Structure formats: C-alpha cells, structure tokens
C-alpha cells in the first residue's frame, strides 16, 4: 500500500470527520465518491498536509507523514475552482512549483513546455489566467501540479466547475495523464459517472465514513448496503418486511428469493432482469406480478418503465421495440416477471 | 447603457447630503488658500524655519511609517490568516491608539521613552535621545498612526484567497516563499495604501508629538505656535504650505497604488 490512512479524525467548527481508514495502492487511480459536504475536501487537505488531523495517522510508502509540512510531502493538489495565481501568466503559474522545489533552472523552460503540450495549453503560455475559459484554467492547474512530478496527485472535484462537453474531454485527458505520469491519483467527486469512468477502485463515502471500496463492477454487483446502492443510483432496492423461508414480503407482496443463507434486510432486483408482458405466461421464473404502469422515462437506448403492484413499485428497463409492441400507456396493465435468482439480497 | 429614468427622491436626497459633506471638507481648505495673499506665499518660500519643519514632519512620518511597516505587515498577515487564540483581543489592541486621546497617548509614551526610562537608558549610549528629539517624534507618530497601516494591510491580505496559498504550499513552497510570492504581490497595493494613510496620519499628528517634543517643531506645532503668538494671518502661510505639500504627495502615491483597470474577460 502506498497511502494508508488509519483512524484519521478532524473537527472543524460544527463539521466532524469520524475516524477514517483508507488504503490506496501505488500508481492507482483511486476515486473517492460521495455527496457534497461529507468532508472529502477536508480529507484531501489533511492528506496534503494543509490541515492537521485531530487524531490518526497518515503513512506514505511506509513512512509516517502525519505531521510533515505540505511542502515536504511531494504531493500536489488541484482544486475545483482551479486556484490559478492571478498575478502570474500561465507560464509562471506552471513553473511555480519547479522554483519552489528548487529544481535546476536549466531544465525549467523545457519541463514547462513539455507538460503544457501534454495537457494542451502550449498556445496559452503567455496568457493571463482571467482570460481563459474554465476548461483551459483547469488544464493549466493540472499542468502546474504535474510539472513537479508529484508522487501523489490530489484532485478535489476537478471537473465540477467546467461545462458538460469539456468535462467529457477532461475525463479522457485525466485518464491519459494518469497513464503517462504513472503516479498515484486520488480524486474526489460527487459524480457517479465520473467515478465509474475514472476510478480503478472507488471508495464510497457517506456520512463521513467510507462505506465500501472496490472496483466499479464490484460496487454494482455487490453493494454493501442500501445507502451505497441508493447513492450509486441502483434501482429497485426494496425493504423486506417479513421473511418466510424462500419467500419475502416486500411492499405487501410475496417475492420468491430462492434459498438464501444469512440475514438480510433489503432486496435488489436489477431493472434489466424484469420482463414485462401483456399476458401472463408459463415460465421457470418464480415471480410474476400483475401491475399497472405508473410512469415511463425515455433513455438513450432503453425505456425505464415504472410499474406498481399494490404497494410494491418496480422499475424495468426494456427496449424501444418491446415498448412499442406492448403499447405501454400510463395506467396500462402488465405482468412483471423475474427469476428468484435475479433477486439480490443484502 | 443603462436606461435613464427620473431619479428617485431617495437618490436626490443622498446626493444632496453627500454634496453638503464634501463641501464641508473642501470649503475650509479652499477658503484658507484663497484668503492667503499670494505675496505672503511667495514670501514663505524664504521662510527657513517653515521649510525645515515641513522637511522634519515629512521625514519623521516617513521613517515612522517604514519602521512600522516592517513590524506591521507581518502582524497584518497574521491577523488576516489568523485562527489563533486571542485573535479578537489582538485586533482590539491594534486599534487601541485610535480610541486613546492623543495627548494622553503622549503622556503614556513618556513613561517608556522619558528621560529616565529604561529604554532611554539603553538607547543613550548609542546616541539616541527621544524627548525633544526627532526620534521621539517618530515614536509618537508611529504609535498614533499604526492602526491605519495594519488595518489596510490586513484587509489586503484577507482578500487573497487562502486556497492560492494552499496550492503553493502543496507545490513545495515554504510559508515564507508563499508570503513573498503569493500574499505580498497580491496585497501590495493595500499595504501601500495603508502606508500612505499612516504617513498622512503621522504628518498631521499634534497631541502626542507636542508632549514628547515641542522642539524641534513639526509643522502642525509650528502652525499652532504661530497662531498662538502672532495670530491667524501669520500662521496661515505655514498651514497652506503643509496642505499643498501633502496634497501633492498623496495624489502621487494614490496614483501609484491605484487599482488596476478592469479588463473585459
């Protein structure tokens, strides 16, 4: 492990970061995902050494750096609002860290040029920060951080302040920069898509705690609890009212879950595993519910159809072809069919 | 272009009140200059005592400002960035000289720089005398005008986003480098404005200075002495000369410290 946080806590006015543990691997692109206001920025600033923790330990490559001054850590932080130095032009912004780290001045110009080319701001070197667009400013901020070859790059919502198109471009660029730089990136965001696209591993942070860490696949296959699943935007998470062997009562309806070991309080039915039909049909699937269409949401390639069966509401994802064949108007009657093995319990 | 509509009663009243206030500031000064015969002013050019006192006043206030800047700018920076214990208390201490009557401040200063004070005993061997000397005038001016420098500089530093300093630290800059490459370059106009304010306040100081040094005479004391001994018309030329010199100096410094022109983004 490159970066190990152990029992890190921080009180800041009314805000409190409960003891937090986290491990990030060398060279990894790690994304910390969580809603705003859970202390992600505070955590980054503690790692950078800009805030002192009230307790706990930060170790970097086996060395305790908890009380090391920020300039001695060899990290670099990039903020959401770019934080370019307004009294310096782009070139001077980028080379600031080289001077601060007393790198030999002979290589400065070449290093600035190389990193500027890498992030695509070589045409902007003579410009003043205030004349740049948001996307350009964030590229300059990235160049300014990367030019010092930091061993850990801390990214605080780096894409939140730029427009949607630029965000897509910058995401691709961040992935490329991470690959080329070969260093460890720790990126915090509230944007699930961003986390899924960039993170080799993702930590989900809710209420100041890291609830689950894993690859994007692992998070979606096995969300550790309903709150994580809900935050990831996973649909059809339902509370179990009662359980009787292989049958659970959910929303007042019996649902076959098959044989399950252990306790669970929630079930999750993947929307793409629910089949909608106009008539009931014979099938090996153990669950078939008679529902009414509540609402339809048209997506890129699929239609999300929300159906209700008494107090139980489910979302099914179907193709446009099926949608047209079934003629699903709001209020139409349909049958929702799914296998007991499609019901995930946790 | 903004649409021009009929001005509201409120803005008319605000303009009227502002006008009266400005007139109140400008009228006595203009009247003073106009009431002084040109011949007297020309004659004052040869008034050695007057020009010596003006030179003394500008120099003493200038030295007081420079010395205070060395101590006051770090304090202003600490206050702007400070989340230290007793922050509000320190802030109050800095502003104290504004509240203390200046003659009382002079008496208080005498207790630490008087002829028999410890500080004077330490300073005497190196040839430094306070009471009745320029050094004492400098101390008095510094004491009463320091809050203006610290206040303006603190505002300037507070306007520098702390995040910029954090980025600089994470890029490898020491706190000293951050101060000299980020905070000071961004706040220097405010610091300079504070220095100008302090200098002006020092030049005009009367109460604290007269207690510590009646002689050598700073211009405010010279004006007072001439008014007392010879009357209005004789003191008038000294007053006008000081006012003219100050206006020229402040205008020049304000021009240097003017905010940069806003450019369209």
Say yes or no to pLDDT of A53 above 90: yes
Cα–Cα distances in Å, from B40 out to B21, B46, B222?
Answer: 30, 10, 17
Cis peptide preceding B216, ω within 30 of 0: yes
In which element (H, E) is residue A24 found? strand A15-24
In which element (H, E) is residue A304 found? strand A302-309
Residue B25's contacts (CB-CB under 8 Å, 6 or more residues apart) are none
Residue A11, chain B, CB below 8 Å: the answer is no
First-residue to last-residue Cα distance in chain B: 18
Q: Edge to edge, what strands does the sheet with A3-12 contain?
A: A15-24, A3-12, A55-60, A63-64
pLDDT of residue A251: 86
Say yes or no to pLDDT of A241 above 90: no
Residue A13, chain B, CB below 8 Å: the answer is no
In which element (H, E) is residue B45 found? none
Residue A77, chain B, CB below 8 Å: the answer is yes
Distance, in Å, from the CA atom of B77 to the CA atom of B179, rounded to the nearest integer, reads: 9
What are the extents of the domains in chain A? 3-231, 237-345
Residue A249's contacts (CB-CB under 8 Å, 6 or more residues apart) are A240, A241, A242, A243, A255
Q: Please, what is the average pLDDT of chain A?
A: 91
pLDDT of residue B2: 55
Percent helix, strand, coil in chain B, to 5, is: 80, 0, 20
A3-12 and A55-60 strand pairing: antiparallel
> Residue A292 corresponds to which tokens in the numbers above?
């009414």
- In this complex, the residue of A50, A130, A148 whose CB is nearest that of residue B166 is A50
Asked if A132 and A140 count as a contact pair (C-beta separation under 8 A), the reply is yes
Distance, in Å, from the CA atom of A76 to the CA atom of A54, rounded to the nearest integer, reads: 22
pLDDT of residue B265: 38
Q: Which chain A residues have a beta carbon less than 8 Å from that of B172?
A: 71, 74, 97, 100-101, 148
- In this complex, the residue of A71, A74, A154 whose CB is nearest that of residue B169 is A71
Question: Residue for token digits 């020049």?
Answer: B252
Q: Which chain A residues have a beta carbon less than 8 Å from that of B173?
A: 71, 96-97, 100
Residue A97, chain B, CB below 8 Å: the answer is yes
In which element (H, E) is residue A291 found? strand A287-298
Residue B180, chain A, CB below 8 Å: the answer is no
B63: closest CA among B112, B15, B133? Answer: B133
Q: In chain A, whose CA is at the least distance from the CA of B264?
A: A131
CATH of the domain spanning A237-345, picked from 3.30.70.20, 1.20.58.100, 3.40.50.300, 2.40.50.100: 2.40.50.100
pLDDT of residue A5: 95
Distance, in Å, from the CA atom of B171 to the CA atom of A144, rounded to the nearest integer, reads: 8
Q: In chain B, whose CA is at the least distance from the CA of A148?
A: B171
Q: How far is B184 from chain A (nearest CA, A)?
A: 11
> Residue A149 corresponds to which tokens in the numbers above?
């070859």
Q: In chain B, whose CA is at the least distance from the CA of A85?
A: B164
Asked if A59 and A65 count as a contact pair (C-beta separation under 8 A), the reply is yes
What is the DSSP code (8-state) at residue B96? H
pLDDT > 90 in chain A, percent: 56
> Residue A311 corresponds to which tokens in the numbers above?
């107090």
pLDDT of residue A12: 86
Give the residue-averaged pLDDT of A166-176. 92
- Segment-wise mean pLDDT, segments of 10 residues, chain B, 265 residues: 74 96 94 88 88 96 97 96 87 92 94 92 92 95 96 96 96 96 96 94 95 94 94 90 89 80 49
pLDDT of residue B264: 42
Helix/strand/coil for B160: coil
B157: closest CA among B244, B102, B76? Answer: B76
Q: Which chain A residues have a beta carbon less than 8 Å from that of B263?
A: 130-131
Residue A49, chain B, CB below 8 Å: the answer is yes
Asked if A156 and A44 count as a contact pair (C-beta separation under 8 A), the reply is yes
Q: Which chain B residues have a beta carbon less than 8 Å from that of A77?
A: 166-167, 170
Residue A48, chain B, CB below 8 Å: the answer is yes
Asked if A51 and A17 count as a contact pair (C-beta separation under 8 A), the reply is no
Give the residue-averaged pLDDT of A225-233. 86
Q: Which chain A residues have a beta carbon less than 8 Å from that of B182?
A: 85
Concatenating the DSSP letter of every residue in A178-230 gives HHHH-SEEEEEES-HHHHHHH-SEEEEEETTEEEEEE-HHHHHHS-SSHHHHH
Rounded to two decimals, what is the model's pTM?
Answer: 0.83
Residue A280's contacts (CB-CB under 8 Å, 6 or more residues apart) are A288, A290, A335
In which element (H, E) is residue B219 found? helix B219-230
Q: Dihedral, CA atoms, A78, A81, A87, A89, nearest 10 degrees?
A: 70
Residue A70, chain B, CB below 8 Å: the answer is yes
Residue A144, chain B, CB below 8 Å: the answer is yes
What is the DSSP code (8-state) at residue A301? S
Q: How far is B171 from chain A (nearest CA, A)?
A: 5
What is the DSSP code (8-state) at residue A341? G
Say yes or no to pLDDT of A250 above 80: yes
Q: Which chain B residues have a beta carbon less than 8 Å from that of A69?
A: 169, 174
CB contact under 8 A, A50 and B169: yes
Indicate the class that CATH gives domain A3-231: alpha beta
Q: How far is A41 from chain B (nearest CA, A)?
A: 12
B219: closest CA among B93, B97, B79, B50? Answer: B50
- In this complex, the residue of A45, A71, A130 whose CB is nearest that of residue B173 is A71
Residue B163, chain A, CB below 8 Å: the answer is yes
Asked if A42 and A12 count as a contact pair (C-beta separation under 8 A), the reply is yes
CB contact under 8 A, B171 and A145: yes
Q: How far is A167 from chain B (nearest CA, A)?
A: 22
- In this complex, the residue of B161, B171, B182 whose CB is nearest that of residue A148 is B171
CB pairs under 8 A between A and B: 69
Distance, in Å, from the CA atom of A112 to the CA atom of A98, rounded to the nearest integer, reads: 9
A47: closest CA among A28, A12, A27, A74? Answer: A74
Residue B159, chain A, CB below 8 Å: the answer is no
The residue count of chain A comes to 346
Number of other residues whose CB lies within 10 A of the CB of residue B176: 8
Interface test with B, best of A47, A51, A70, A153 (most B CBs within 10 A): A70
Domains of chain B: 48-256 (1.10.3720.10)
Q: Which chain B residues have a beta carbon less than 8 Å from that of A70?
A: 166, 169-170
Give the HSE-up count for residue B188: Cα atoms under 13 Å, Cβ half-sphere: 12
CB contact under 8 A, B163 and A100: no
CB contact under 8 A, A130 and B177: no
The residue count of chain B comes to 265
């Amino acid at each position: 492990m490159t970066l190990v946080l152990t029992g890190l806590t921080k009180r800041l006015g009314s805000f409190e970061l409960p003891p937090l543990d986290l491990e990030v691997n060398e060279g990894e692109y790690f994304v910390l995902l969580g809603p705003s206001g859970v202390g992600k920025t505070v955590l980054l600033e503690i790692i950078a050494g800009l805030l002192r923790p009230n307790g706990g330990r930060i170790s970097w490559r086996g060395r305790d750096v908890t009380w090391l001054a920020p300039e001695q850590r060899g990290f670099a932080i990039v903020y959401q609002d770019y934080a370019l130095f307004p009294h310096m032009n782009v070139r001077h912004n980028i080379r600031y860290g080289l001077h601060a780290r007393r790198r030999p001045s002979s290589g400065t110009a070449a290093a600035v040029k190389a990193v500027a080319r890498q992030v695509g701001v070589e045409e902007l070197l003579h410009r003043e920060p205030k004349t740049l667009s948001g996307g350009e400013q964030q590229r300059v901020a990235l160049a300014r951080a990367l030019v010092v070859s930091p061993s850990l790059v801390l990214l605080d919502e780096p894409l939140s302040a730029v427009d949607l198109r630029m965000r897509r471009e910058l995401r691709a660029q961040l992935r490329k920069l991470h690959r080329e730089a070969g260093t460890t990136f720790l990126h915090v965001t509230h944007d699930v898509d961003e986390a899924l696209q960039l993170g080799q591993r993702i930590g989900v942070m809710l209420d100041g705690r890291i609830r689950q860490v894993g690859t994007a696949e692992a998070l979606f296959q096995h969300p550790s609890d309903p709150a994580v699943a809900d935050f990831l935007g996973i649909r059809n998470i339902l509370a179990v009212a009662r359980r009787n062997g292989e049958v659970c009562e959910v929303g007042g309806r019996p649902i076959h879950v098959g044989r399950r070991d252990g306790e669970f309080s929630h079930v999750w039915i993947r929307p793409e595993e629910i089949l909608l039909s106009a008539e009931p049909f014979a099938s090996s699937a153990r669950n078939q519910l008679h529902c009414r269409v509540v609402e339809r949401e048209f997506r890129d390639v699929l239609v999300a159809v929300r159906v209700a069966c008494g107090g139980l509401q489910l979302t099914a994802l179907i193709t446009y072809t099926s949608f047209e064949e079934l003629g699903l108007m709001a209020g139409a009657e349909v049958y929702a069919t799914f296998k007991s093995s499609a019901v995930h319990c946790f | 272009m903004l649409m021009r509509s009929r001005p509201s009663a409120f803005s008319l009243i605000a303009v009227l009140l502002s006008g009266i206030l400005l007139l109140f500031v400008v009228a006595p000064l203009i009247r003073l200059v106009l009431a002084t015969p040109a011949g007297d002013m020309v004659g004052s050019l040869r008034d050695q005592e007057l020009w010596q006192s003006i030179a003394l006043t500008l120099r003493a206030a200038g030295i007081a400002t420079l010395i205070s800047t060395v101590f006051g700018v770090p304090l202003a920076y600490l206050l702007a960035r400070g989340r230290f214990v007793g922050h509000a208390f320190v802030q109050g201490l800095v502003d104290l000289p504004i509240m203390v009557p200046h003659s009382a401040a002079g008496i208080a200063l005498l207790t630490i720089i008087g002829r028999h004070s410890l500080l004077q005993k330490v300073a005497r061997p190196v040839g430094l005398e306070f009471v009745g000397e320029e050094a004492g005038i400098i101390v008095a001016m510094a004491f009463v005008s320091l809050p203006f420098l610290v206040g303006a500089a603190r505002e300037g530093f507070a306007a520098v986003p702390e995040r910029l300093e954090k980025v600089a630290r994470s890029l490898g800059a020491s706190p000293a480098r951050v101060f000299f490459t980020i905070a000071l370059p961004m706040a220097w106009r405010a610091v300079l404005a504070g220095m100008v304010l302090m200098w002006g306040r020092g030049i005009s100081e009367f109460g604290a200075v007269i207690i510590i040094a009646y002689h050598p005479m700073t211009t405010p004391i010279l004006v007072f002495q001439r008014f007392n001994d010879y009357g209005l018309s004789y003191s008038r030329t000294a007053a006008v000369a000081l006012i003219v010199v100050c206006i020229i100096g402040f205008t020049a410094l304000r021009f240097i410290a003017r905010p940069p022109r806003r450019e369209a983004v």
